Amino acid sequence: MTREVGRSPDRERLELALQIAGLGEFEWDLSRDVLIISDRLSAITGLPAGEIPAEGGAAFDRFIHPDDREALAAEQKQHLQDGDSYEGRYRMIRPDDGRVQWMRTAAKIVRDEAGQAIRVCGVIEDVSRSRREEDQRMQLMAELDHRVKNVLAAVQALAQQTAKRTTSLDAFLQTFGGRLKAMASANELLTAARWRGAAIDHLAAAELGAIAPGQTSWEGPELFLTPRAANALSLALHELATNAVKYGALSVETGHVNLRWNARPGGGFELTWTESGGPVVASPARRGFGSTLLEQVTGRELNGDTQVDYRPAGVAVRLRAGPQAMADRPEVMPEAPVARVTETVPTSRGPASLKGARVLIVEDAVLLALELETGLSEAGAEVIGPAYELEEAMALLDQPIDAAVLDANLNGHSVTPVAEVLHQRRIPFVFATGYGETGGAPGGFEAPVIRKPYDVTQVAAAVAELLGNR
């Protein structure tokens, strides 16, 4: 950097700092009523550089956005009367190209011995980018709040409808838990795509990929659904799969389910679910919530209709959706799930027994930790913990432990340090996580993964299986 003649090092450092900070300086000489605009400020605001008539401040105020002008003028007047500095944020309309920018002014008021303001010196910064980012954050928070409330309302309605149509607590927990996992699966895919949409084949893989290997197949073009339609289709596929496992083609080893879909000429899509090779089918004696969901809720959410045909050779379903259900291909595409995640599920051998087993629980959500503690204790385990923080968990590792249930993330901290100690001591553990890692267990550990929301019986069964394999 070559120093200009007559320019002091301090002045050079000041100008360099202003340049780096993106600030433009000004001076308002009240005694002469002139504004002195620097070249930097001219570039930032579009105002002419040099000395211009201040017109009592009107020369600058006329470029302030009309919605901000009155408040800014009143604040400025108040500071000139009795203040020594002021700072303000406002919108400015550039005089050169008409663009609206968010600006921040910070100024110091210089007074004479009588206390009269004689000069205002300050800097102005273009904060349009940070303002846009703040607006986006606020919009995202509002959207998140809206979605959370919608999800809670949907879960509440799902629980109420399921409860009205089940005759026992065990049946309710099993049915409701399955439907909740279907919602969670769709939500995971939507989150990975930044809530821009979800592909039908991803929804099919998430729901069918983990059940009856070799007995399910799906095929169709790459089509994307809106978040609302994706949730509806995920629930529909879950209901169909559940019924097929209980009563239909997937209840026997010879059965098969084929899922196909195609785009409709006028927009939307048509999907067919065909079961074959299973028991002889008859129309159900009563209509449950699953039938209502398929024929009414799903049809309306997809702006189409659903037809269920109980053929003796197997259930056949045709679902048609309108163009309102479709979405453009998201910019960020999640990987197609192969089989949800490696999950350990309860087997048909009856309730898991953990009698005498010392099981460490590491979970930062209090209600989930209490539920795990109750469930594992009922299975006969001696619960160690629960530990809600990483430090708590590390402190409990000195105790005798036979197995552990680990939440992958503890209030923003990875549970990996705990897992590493357990791995070194050859103590088996299960991950219970809300993260949608399709590549296996967090941290690359060879451990079962159970995704939230889960049934505590899944966790007990997974722990029992680990202890049985030792």
CB environment 37-48: b (16+ within 10 A), e (fewer): bbebbbebbbbe
Pick the more confident residue, 432 or 211: 432
The two structure tokens encoding residue 18: 């202003």
Position 99 in a domain? yes
- The chain-wide mean pLDDT, for the chain, equals 82
CA distance 222 to 378: 46
Assigned domain for 158 exists: yes
Average pLDDT value for residue range 232-245: 84
Answer whether residue 4 shows pLDDT above 60.
no
For the chain, the residue count is 470
Choice between 323 and 368, residue whose per-residue pLDDT is larger = 323
Question: What are the pLDDT digits (tens) for 123-142?
Answer: 999 999 988 888 878 876 76
Q: How confident is the model at residue 83 (pLDDT cuts 50, 70, 90)?
A: confident
- Rounded CA-CA distance 235/49 in Å is 64
Predicted confidence at residue 400, as pLDDT, reads 94
pLDDT at 190: 61
pLDDT at 402: 94
- Asked if 32 and 113 sit in the same domain, the reply is yes
**Are residues 31 and 154 both part of a single domain?**
no
Provide the pLDDT for residue 227: 83
Asked if the structure places residue 150 within a domain, the reply is yes
Give pLDDT, residue 167: 77
Mean pLDDT within 436-440:
50
Instruction: Provide the token pair at 400.
Output: 């005798």
pLDDT single digits (tens) 287-318: 666 677 777 767 778 888 888 899 999 999 99
Residues 216 and 175 in one domain: yes
Pairwise pLDDT comparison (228 vs 382), residue with the higher score: 382
For position 374, what pLDDT does the model report? 87
Examine the pLDDT at 160 and tell me if it is beyond 80: no
Give the per-residue pLDDT at 338: 43
Predicted TM-score of the model (pTM)? 0.50
pLDDT at 191 exceeding the cut of 70 = no
Query: Does 271 lie in the same domain as 157?
Result: yes
Query: Does residue 309 sit in the same domain as residue 175?
Result: yes
Question: Three-state SS string across the chain, please?
Answer: CCCCCCCCHHHHHHHHHHHHHCEEEEEEECCCCEEEECHHHHHHHCCCCEEEECHHHHHHHCCECHHHHHHHHHHHHHHHHHCCEEEEEEEEECCCCCCEEEEEEEEEEEECCCCCEEEEEEEEEECHHHHHHHHHHHHHHHHHHHHHHHHHHHHHHHHHHHHHCCCCHHHHHHHHHHHHHHHHHHHHHHHHCCCCCEEHHHHHHHHHCCCCCCCEEEECCCCEECHHHHHHHHHHHHHHHHHHHHCCHHHCCCCEEEEEEEECCCCCEEEEEEEECCCCCCCCCCCCHHHHHHHHHHHHHCCCEEEEEEECCEEEEEEEECHHHECCCCCCCCCCCCCCCCCCCCCCCCCCCCCCCEEEEECCCHHHHHHHHHHHHHCCCEEEEEECCHHHHHHHCCCCCCEEEECCEECCEECHHHHHHHHHCCCCEEEEECCCCCCCCHHHCCCCEEECCCCHHHHHHHHHHHHHCC
pLDDT greater than 50 at residue 84: yes
pLDDT (tens digit, 9 = 90+) per residue, 92-134? 999 988 999 999 999 999 999 889 999 999 999 999 998 888 8
What's the confidence (pLDDT) of residue 317?
Answer: 93
Band of pLDDT at residue 253, cut at 50, 70 and 90 = confident
- Can you give the pLDDT at residue 292? 72
User: What pLDDT does residue 67 have?
Assistant: 92
Domain count, the chain: 3
Of the spans 160-174, 218-232, 424-438, which averages the highest pLDDT?
218-232
Residue where a domain stops, chosen among 126, 156, 178: 126
User: Cβ–Cβ contacts within 10 Å for residue 77, how many?
Assistant: 10
CATH of the domain at 74: 3.30.450.20
CATH number of the domain to which 451 belongs: 3.40.50.2300
Would residue 335 count as lying in a domain?
no
- Provide, rounded to the nearest whole percent, the portion of the chain with pLDDT above 70: 81
Residue 450 has pLDDT above 80, yes or no: yes
Domain boundary (126, 157, 181) is at: 126
Please tell me whether residues 163 and 286 are part of one structural domain: yes
pLDDT band per the 50, 70, 90 thresholds, residue 424: very high
Structural domain harbouring 258: 142-325
Provide mean pLDDT across the span 337-345: 40
Average of pLDDT values for 241-251? 85
Between CA 187 and CA 395 the distance in angstroms is 35
pLDDT given at position 348: 39
Asked whether the beta carbons of 447 and 428 are under 8 A apart, the reply is yes
For residues 263 and 363, state if they share a domain: no
Q: Which of 17-21, 35-39, 198-202 has the highest mean pLDDT?
A: 35-39
Considering just the CA atoms, what is the radius of gyration of the chain in Å?
32
- In whole angstroms, give the CA distance from residue 179 to residue 108: 63
Q: Are residues 277 and 380 in the same domain?
A: no
Task: Give me the mean pLDDT over the 255-264 stretch.
Answer: 94
Position 152 scores a pLDDT of 65
Question: Is residue 290 a contact partner of residue 225, using CB atoms and an 8 Å limit?
Answer: no
- Range 333-360 average pLDDT: 60
- The CA-atom distances, in angstroms, between 333 and each of 195, 196, 407, 410, 436 are 11, 10, 26, 27, 14
The confidence band for 220, taking pLDDT boundaries of 50, 70 and 90, is very high
Regarding whether 255 and 116 lie in a shared domain, the answer is no
Query: pLDDT value at position 454?
Result: 73
Model confidence band, residue 347 (pLDDT cutoffs 50, 70, 90): very low
